[in-house]
Amino acid sequence: MATSDPVYLRVVEDIRRQINDGTLPPGAPIPSRAQLTRKYQVGETAARHALRVLVTEGLVIGRVGSGHYVRERPILMPLHRWRFPEHPTPFAADLQTQGRRVTWEWQIDSTEATPEIARRLRLPLSAKLTRTRYLYRGEGRPLQLAISYEPVEFAAHLDEERRGVVARMSAHGVRITEIRETVHTRVPRPAEADALQLPAGTHVLHVERTHWAGERPMETSDIVLPGDRFRVTYSMPVG
Amino acid sequence: MATSDPVYLRVVEDIRRQINDGTLPPGAPIPSRAQLTRKYQVGETAARHALRVLVTEGLVIGRVGSGHYVRERPILMPLHRWRFPEHPTPFAADLQTQGRRVTWEWQIDSTEATPEIARRLRLPLSAKLTRTRYLYRGEGRPLQLAISYEPVEFAAHLDEERRGVVARMSAHGVRITEIRETVHTRVPRPAEADALQLPAGTHVLHVERTHWAGERPMETSDIVLPGDRFRVTYSMPVG
DNA sequence: GCCGCAAAGTTGGGGCTCCAAGGGTCGTCG
DNA sequence: CGACGACCCTTGGAGCCCCAACTTTGCGGC
């Protein structure tokens, strides 16, 4: 509103307003650089900068050779976190119950505990761990990345029996009593942006999941979801 | 890695690598525009663009007149979501238990249900609601925004007794049995960026909380947290 | 009526420059 | 010895330009 702030922000705010109030519906074209310079009486740098801000905010996408368009707001996919079916991760199972075809691939290797993972599993640094990397796809597109860590002694037959952590640990005589998950948001790492085919400006939801047997953490995993397409739902009983 | 991708990305990737592997620790200065042009043999535009990308990624902050510095990674504040103390929202209580002074202010007014809120509370459109807006502060800085909606008939004495939803509903003979929360991430709205004093490039965590009495939703609220400072933790018992 | 090609428009990378506002440093003056 | 000011450096806003790669459009010919 203030006439003192940068001119590119004036442009950004005007376009953002038009997107929010529906004047520019999803899919609608945004004026080009040349049109913006004329319409708002600004230089090319300001017009260009304004468009870049809108792109990194995720409100708009740019198509080379064509133009900028209001981004279609994808429907946020719900992931319900209070059922624990017999699946590698509840996420995939939950997605399937919504009538979506979800496929996943994984690869297993050995690694040593990094400071972060050692802390989470309460193990000494460079303890031997089995690491499993998952990539989930739905309708062809990548949906979710996950990396699971657990002590090597529990990982026998991991590649054959794809049962959930709870069931598999139980087969080793370990009773999982609790699952804790921590959700935060951050900028995707380059590898993640690549694997999940994230458009510029989107963030990811990072879910840190740990399976506990009483006071002992038994398995931990990092689950990375495109922030613009997922919402994670939790249920807690009261009283 | 590929020598074909834009030169500014080469610069970004090199600096990002140095930040990640600790060569550039938090607080360390990033080479200035002039130094980058010399060091990487690129034009000023590329150097400038590289710095901007690092800033919007949240890895680096720029101080006018001084330079760019590796951003101090704020310690992510945990908010544990499995205790329900007698406080307006569990968030504030949880923060306090960590030895932080948290203050909050609120204002109450009346409003009609928007499509979104009507859906969540299963009420007809434009049903009469009491809306309470909260702003939480910790150590002077704004921490969290929340807007709570509930049918007017439960809101008596809302401004006097600041008890939690569960306790207050119970006084009206309504037993809350379940709390559901949905977490997603998005770009802050301008008013939120302003109220929470969010630096450029940060996202927010948006928690949608609903209190249920059996199959009836009784209260719903939108809780907005700075994505770069908060992590939300949930616990689920197994078996 | 349809096809293909050329021209025009658009994005995104990159270059150069000027300038205001502010931080840092060092030396001089009181 | 301490305070203050000058000077240099840095960021961030803004302007203008060139070009490659790509999309869209419209026209002419078949």
pLDDT digits (tens, 9 = 90+) for B34-64: 999 999 999 999 999 999 999 988 889 999 9
CATH number of the CATH domain containing B83: 3.40.1410.10
Structure confidence at residue A239 (pLDDT) = 64
Structure confidence at residue A1 (pLDDT) = 42
The answer to the question of residue A2 being in a domain is: no
Kindly report the CA angle at A134 between A130 and A137, in degrees rounded to 5? Answer: 170
The answer to whether strand C lies under 7 Å from the CB of residue A65 is yes
A39 and A138 assigned to the same domain:
no
A61 and A155 assigned to the same domain:
no
Separation CA B62–CA B56 (nearest Å): 10
The answer to the question of residue A45 being in a domain is: yes
Structure confidence at residue B162 (pLDDT) = 57
Nucleotide nearest to B6 (CA to C1'): C13
Q: What is the mean pLDDT of residues A17-21?
A: 88
Average pLDDT in chain B: 83
CB contact under 8 A, A184 and B231: yes
pLDDT (tens digit, 9 = 90+) per residue, B51-109? 999 998 888 999 999 999 998 877 667 666 664 433 445 555 555 555 566 778 888 89
The answer to the question of residue A186 being in a domain is: yes
* Residue that is last in its domain, among B43, B70, B97: B70
A101 and A125 assigned to the same domain:
yes
The answer to the question of residue A239 being in a domain is: no
pLDDT (tens digit, 9 = 90+) per residue, A197-215? 887 677 899 999 999 999 9
A156 and A128 assigned to the same domain:
yes
Structure confidence at residue A86 (pLDDT) = 39
Q: What is the mean pLDDT of residues A181-186?
A: 88
B150 and B122 assigned to the same domain:
yes
* Residue that is last in its domain, among A70, A95, A115: A70
The answer to the question of residue B238 being in a domain is: no
Closest CA in chain B for residue A187: B57
The answer to the question of residue B1 being in a domain is: no
A179 close to B (CB below 8 A)? yes
Separation CA A113–CA B97 (nearest Å): 31
Question: Beta partners for B79?
Answer: B232
Separation CA B176–CA A237 (nearest Å): 9
The verdict on pTM exceeding 0.80 is no
B40 and B94 assigned to the same domain:
no
B103 and B183 assigned to the same domain:
yes
* Inter-residue contact B154 to B128 (CB < 8 Å): no
Structure confidence at residue B95 (pLDDT) = 56
Separation CA B172–CA B156 (nearest Å): 10
Domain count, chain B: 2
Structure confidence at residue B221 (pLDDT) = 93
The answer to whether strand D lies under 7 Å from the CB of residue B68 is yes
pLDDT (tens digit, 9 = 90+) per residue, A55-110? 988 889 999 999 999 998 776 676 666 644 334 455 555 555 555 667 788 888 99
The answer to the question of residue A151 being in a domain is: yes
B50 and B153 assigned to the same domain:
no
Closest CA in chain B for residue A20: B189
Say yes or no to pLDDT of B176 above 80: yes
Structure confidence at residue B157 (pLDDT) = 62
| DSSP β-ladder status, B102-112 and B77-80 | unpaired
Predicted ipTM of the assembly: 0.74
CB contact under 8 A, B235 and A177: no
| DSSP β-ladder status, B204-213 and B178-186 | antiparallel
Q: How many CA atoms lie within 13 A of A19 on its CB side?
A: 26
Element (H, E) at A11: helix A7-20
Nucleotides of C under 7 A from a protein CB: 9-17, 21-24
**Option in B56, B175, B232 nearest A56 (CB):** B56
Say yes or no to pLDDT of A112 above 60: yes
The answer to whether strand C lies under 7 Å from the CB of residue A79 is no
- The closest alpha carbon to B181, from B221, B227, B216, belongs to B221
B46 and B120 assigned to the same domain:
no
pLDDT (tens digit, 9 = 90+) per residue, B187-210? 887 788 878 887 766 789 999 999
Say yes or no to pLDDT of B134 above 80: yes
Structure confidence at residue B85 (pLDDT) = 39
A181 and A208 assigned to the same domain:
yes
* Residue that is last in its domain, among A70, A96, A120: A70
CATH number of the CATH domain containing B60: 1.10.10.10
Structural domain for A174, as ranges: 77-233
List chain B residues with CB under 8 Å of A185: 185, 203-205, 227
Separation CA A130–CA A215 (nearest Å): 21
The answer to whether strand C lies under 7 Å from the CB of residue B199 is no
CB contact under 8 A, A239 and B186: no
* Inter-residue contact B195 to B173 (CB < 8 Å): no
B83 and B20 assigned to the same domain:
no
B91 and B54 assigned to the same domain:
no
The answer to the question of residue A161 being in a domain is: yes
Burial class (CB in 10 A: 0-12, 13-18, 19+), A226: buried
- The closest alpha carbon to A225, from A200, A208, A211, A213, belongs to A208
Structure confidence at residue A91 (pLDDT) = 55
Structure confidence at residue A42 (pLDDT) = 95
Assign 3-class secondary structure to B57-73.
CCCEEEECCCEEEECCC
B205 close to A (CB below 8 A)? yes
